[in-house]
Amino acid sequence: MPRPVLLPTEPVERALTLSTVTAAASTGLFYSVSALYFTRVIGLSAPTVGLGLTIAGAVGVAASFAGGQLADRVGADRLQLVANAVQGAALLAYVWAGTAVTFTLIACVAVGGRSLQGTAKATLQARWFTGPERVAVRARLRVVTNVFIGLGTCLAAAALVVGTAEAYRATMVLVAVLTALATIPLAGLRARAPGLVEALARTLDEGGDPVRGPSPLRDRTYLTSVALNSVIAMQFGMQSVGVPLWIATRTEAPTVVISVLLVVNTVLVALFQVRASRGTHEIGHAGRTVRRGSLLLAAACLLYGSAGSGGAVAAVVVLVAAELLGTAAEIWCEAGGWGLAFELADPRSAGAYQGLSQTGYALANMLAPLVVTATAVDHGMPGWVLLAAVFAAAGTGVGALAGRAATRRTQPVALMA
């Protein structure tokens, strides 16, 4: 990974990057062992785990939105630091979870903390960085996230090979420690970044009182953009839940292909995400980027579906081709979505707007497994066709919305000229 990506010189980006390194490694570890830990060590049934995580997901949705209001009031950097610490403590508490009730309560705190942290992180970027650099920083952070999630997944192999309850518990402790370590780069950030306090402060009127910015809930353009991009964001649930289930139950491809596709995705995101983000700080360009990505995503869905109708070799070839298209779609849709989330927002209510944007992602994460399994996995090719149509329609809608928003912003300039 290039040194400017992993160790940037700008203090805020450096803090966010170093915080992301340990948090992402923790995520990779957690995703790899959590399901087995919950079922084999705690002794919960799969439906109980699913219900508990669904309840926690709903808490995460609420926390994402509330985090925007908190970030505007207490400061995005402070909120992110506290949320990281809370999430780390909750993850450590899983070691002592013994019942369905305690598991669900801990999950609610852990997911809520993660959601608050995500909103605070986006708000900090929105308030500190400007123009093309704002989207570029987010792209670089995503590269770091993907790479270290992959490394965390590799590290989890030790616990999976040993397979004992003690190995799983030790891994969960490591997950909590790595999450808590993400707070260290954020501590004292205001002293290292001159001007950060002023950038995070709420706008004041002539009398010195805080100016209350507009609510994003009354901004129809922003609401519609978030809604449509949230539909597209269900692609992550498709990749993490739908595609593995599809490969394992409805194709003749060996299950090891699931890991191969993950590696393909990680490598391509690391190589091309930053490049794809260039220019997406312009609203019109961002909308076109999302539309282009959504059409590729629709094509990927059709290829995934067709993998169920051939032999093992044909299925592997088709699945790899689908992953190439799907990853390119993911890169473009994310780059364009970030640009719209930043540039369509009113800067006076940056936290509230980013909170709404993160709420859309949280909703997508909560609903995607249900939607994808109920369509593609349960109904095969017709379900994949339906998903393709939904993604294409949402992306086309984003493109049209962004085009109109860009035109409205340029009209006053044209009239003045």
* Token couple for 175: 């997950």
Map out the domains of the chain with their CATH numbers. 1-201 (1.20.1250.20), 215-417 (1.20.1250.20)
Greater pLDDT, 201 or 378: 378
Measured on CA atoms in the order 411, 412, 416, 417, is the torsion positive or negative? negative
Could you give the CA distance from residue 385 to residue 43 in angstroms, rounded to a whole number? 38
Residues 6 or more apart whose Cβ sits within 8 Å of residue 357: 122, 226, 229, 341, 345
Token pair in block for residue 54: 């669904």
Q: How many CB atoms lie within 10 A of CB 321?
A: 16
Angle formed at CA 153 by CA 125 and CA 57, multiple of 5 degrees: 60
Give residue-wise pLDDT tens across range 263-313: 899 899 999 999 999 999 999 999 999 999 999 999 999 999 999 988 999
Q: What is the pLDDT of residues 231-250, one digit of tens each?
A: 999 999 898 888 988 998 89
Question: What are 305's two structure tokens?
Answer: 């579906």
**Which amino acid is it at 247?**
I
Integer Cα distance of 72 and 202 in angstroms:
7
Q: By the 8 A CB rule, do 29 and 152 touch?
A: yes
* Residues facing residue 204 across a β-bridge: 210
Q: What pLDDT was estimated at residue 1?
A: 61
Where does the pLDDT of residue 172 fall: very low under 50, low under 70, confident under 90, or very high at 90 and above? very high
Confidence category of residue 398, pLDDT binned at 50, 70, 90: very high
Cα 321 vs. chain centroid, distance in angstroms?
24
Q: How far apart are CA 222 and CA 213, in angstroms?
A: 14
Q: What is the mean pLDDT of residues 382-392?
A: 97
Q: Quickly state the pLDDT bin for 73 (edges 50, 70, 90).
A: confident
- Asked if the model's pLDDT at residue 176 lies above 50, the reply is yes
Burial (0-12, 13-18, 19+ Cβ within 10 Å), 398: buried
Beta bridge partners of 210: 204
Which tokens hold the place of 243?
A: 């595609």
User: CA 413, CA 417: separation in Å to the nearest integer?
Assistant: 6
Res. 414: pLDDT tops 50: no
In the chain, the amino acid numbered 294 is: S
Please report the DSSP string for 263-297 in residue order.
HHHHHHHHHHHHHHHTTTTSHHHHHHHHHHHHHHH
Work out the number of other CB atoms within 10 angstroms of the CB of residue 98: 11
**In the predicted model, what is the mean pLDDT of residues 360-382?**
92
For 28-51, what is each residue's pLDDT tens digit? 899 888 888 998 899 988 788 888
Q: How far apart are CA 410 and CA 417, in angstroms?
A: 11
Position 138 scores a pLDDT of 94
For residue 155, with 0-12 CB atoms within 10 Å meaning exposed, 13-18 middle and 19 or more buried, which class applies?
A: middle
Q: Is pLDDT of 153 > 60? A: yes
- The DSSP 8-state label assigned to residue 161 in this structure reads H
Considering only the C-alpha atoms of the chain, give the largest distance between any 2 of them, rounded to a whole number of Å. Answer: 73
Does 415 score more than 80 pLDDT?
no
- Classify residue 62 by burial, with Cβ atoms within 10 Å: 0-12, 13-18, 19+: middle
**How far, in Å, are 70, 263, 288 from residue 219 at the CA level?**
20, 39, 21
Number of H helices, E strands in the chain: 19, 0
Model confidence band, residue 178 (pLDDT cutoffs 50, 70, 90): very high
Which has the minimum average pLDDT: 193-207, 259-273, 370-384? 193-207
pLDDT at 384 over 80: yes
**Position 211, amino acid:** V
Q: Rounded to whole angstroms, how far apart are CA atoms 209 and 190?
A: 22
* pLDDT at residue 211, as a whole number: 61
